[in-house]
Structure 1
Amino acid sequence: MSYSLFRFGFLALLLALLAAKPAGSPRITERDFQAYFAAYGLRGSFLVLDAGTNAYTAYNLARCRQGFLPASTFKIPNTLIGLETGAVADTAEVFRWDGVRRAFPQWNQDLTVAQALRVSCVPCYQQLARRVGAGRYRQWLPRLRFGRMHVTAATVDTFWLAGSSRITQFEQIDFLRRLQQGRLPVSARSQAITKALLVLGRGPGWVLRGKTGWTMQSGADNGWFVGWVEQAGRTYFFALNAEPANGGPATDNFVRGRRAIAEQILQREFGLLAGAAK
């Protein structure tokens, strides 16, 4: 074999190896955060991305890669789609209460879009879903790359709460990162409005944005808390998924624990959210 042929073969092999493992692939470090979940009687998984270093920290990595129904975390892309399609004009538009009394009293009234997101009003966003329609969801959802949503005319107002739609914690963070950076294929206006609606708290040098979610299927409860923290010029994205450890019904610990666990980990393990309640 000539030197030139050997050199060509070596270069081809090197290029193939580089293609198989792209430069800049995110690093994943596994940590044990089980005690935080156990304190609330929950089991689950937690994922954080430091956007500055492109490094993930994961608790229960296999579960972070498992898909779950998005529940009310879908209100984030749903708000974007509603604004982009004109199904809602702005955050001051009012969803009229249908008069049906539900278990969550804060839903039993007229609510603006902004209020409906804040109290996670499912019937309000079901109104929005019927306005958008299955056809337009099938156009917009692939563009947004929010997990794997399956919507039909029959499931247009439930597909994020029941059925075969799924999203992983990695996919949640990927979507939020593109929203935070203004890289979603929607208008800058829609992204800015949605990001403003997600603000949950502010402190010295930091802002917390996020959204909870909760599904109840066949007696099994599953919950989310996803979002990001901007602090000191850096951004950290997070996604928590949890359920009662005993497989029983949701308790107050489940309801409070989703956000509390995430905030405690972000404070104590990452030095974020200084001054926030622990």
Structure 2
Amino acid sequence: MLRICYLLLSLGCLLLGAAPTPRVTERNLQQHFDQYGVRGSFLLYETATGRFTAYQEKRCRQGFLPASTFKIPNTLIGLQTGALPDTATICRWDGVQRYFPQWNQDMPYARALRVSCVPCYQQLARKVGVPAYQQWLRKLRYPGIVVTPGTLDTFWLDGNSRISQFEQVDFLRRLQAETLPLAVRHQRAVKQLLILQKTPAYTLYGKTGWRFHSATNPDNGWFVGWVERADGRTAIFALNVEPQRGPKADERFLAGRRALTEAILREMQWL
């Protein structure tokens, strides 16, 4: 009898001590998506209150290929493992002409992140290697990424890797706070590269991603990051979108990832 009472008491203590379920408020942001001819979802997390605001919460929990948003953890892992000595390290162009002219040149990795140079990060991936990715993705709690020898330089662009907006926000929240299990200097170096706009009122950090259209998948786009306000408030966000009509992207889709997010952030009085 005493044993049963003890077990019940222990269970009660565990329940009382359990972390509360995060509060999620749904908000209708459809007009912004319609403006850019896309469908998708948006998630915002306020660090001071722990509250989430979501448009299409169910979709925010759905996994998508991370595409070039993976350049954030990829750079961190490269720096931590020594595969990337620093962000000034030059990536040498292999001489192959590619669709995006800004990729067809030598460049430091600081620029490679900003212009989303896939070939540069494929070079880096081959230096990092499968075991290091598997080890550090687990340590970073960056879930859903499948790395194999056969997909070493494509796993974030194609295949079975998936990450949700909630998972993106959780990872970025810890990067913004510099609490990832990495050298703080590496976290600060990457954060510096993510600055997109700095004003007296706020600083906007972010990274786009684009999973290109294929025979089996539509275009899929990301914009993830955070806003640090001068008054000390911070919000982490993640947008994921697809073309509203047809599987292929147009100029509105490409420009819309950031523009749409900024319109939402202005409506929510973060910008």
Regarding TM over 0.5, the answer is yes
Residue identity matched to 1:272: W
Mapped to 2, the partners of 1:234 and 1:48 lie a distance apart of: 13
- Count of residues in correspondence between the two structures: 268
1:233 and 2:232 aligned: yes
**Where does residue 251 of structure 2 map in the other structure?**
252
- Off by >4 Å, runs of 4+ in structure 1: 7-14
Question: Within the alignment, does 1:221 sit opposite 2:201 as a pair?
Answer: no
Q: Secondary structure at the match of 1:106?
A: helix
2: CA distance, partners of 1:254 / 1:57:
23
For residues 259-278 of structure 1, the aligned pairs below 5 Å read 259-268=258-267, 270-273=268-271
From the superposition, tell whether residues 10 and 153 of structure 1 become closer, same or farther in structure 2 (CA, over 3 Å). closer
2:56 to 34, 57, 60: 60
* Distance in 2, Cα, partners of 1:208 & 1:171: 20
Aligned partner of residue 220 in structure 1, secondary structure: coil
Q: 3-state SS of the aligned residue for 2:151?
A: coil
Residue 98 of structure 2 is aligned with which of 93, 97, 102? 102
Distance 1:13 1:119 in 2: 52
> Does the CA-based 8 Å contact 1:147-1:168 persist in structure 2?
no
RMSD (CA atoms):
2.0
Where structure 2 has 5 or more consecutive residues not aligned to the other structure, the ranges are: none
Post-superposition shift, 1:85? 1.0
Q: Which residue is equivalent to 1:72? A: 68
Distance of 2:195 and 2:116 partners within structure 1: 14
Deviation string for 1:225-275 (max 9, x for gaps)?
A: 00000002011000000000113311001100111111100011x2122xx
Structure 2 residue aligned with 1:39: 35
**1:119 match:** 115
How many angstroms does 1:14 deviate by? 4.5
Paired position in structure 1 for 2:200: 204
In the alignment, the residues of structure 1 paired with residue 11 and residue 238 of structure 2 have an alpha-carbon distance, to the nearest angstrom, of 38
Greater CA radius of gyration, 1 or 2?
A: 1
Q: For the Cα contact (< 8 Å) 1:147–1:172, is it kept in 2?
A: no
Whole-angstrom CA distance in 1 between matches of 2:15 and 2:47:
26
Choose 63-72 or 130-139, whichever is displaced more.
130-139
Amino acid in the other structure paired with 2:221: G
Q: Structure 1 residues 101, 171: closer, same or farther in 2, change over 3 A? A: same
Q: What TM-score do the two structures reach when normalised by structure 2?
A: 0.93
Matched, 1:138 2:137: no
Q: Secondary structure at the match of 1:195?
A: helix
Match of 2:159 among 147, 157, 163: 163
Q: Is the 8 A contact 1:52 1:234 kept in 2?
A: yes
Normalising by the residue count of structure 1, what TM-score does the alignment of the two structures yield?
0.91
Q: Residues 185-240 of structure 1: CA distance to partner in whole angstroms, max 9, x if unpaired? A: 11011111011111011112211111000012325100000000000201100000
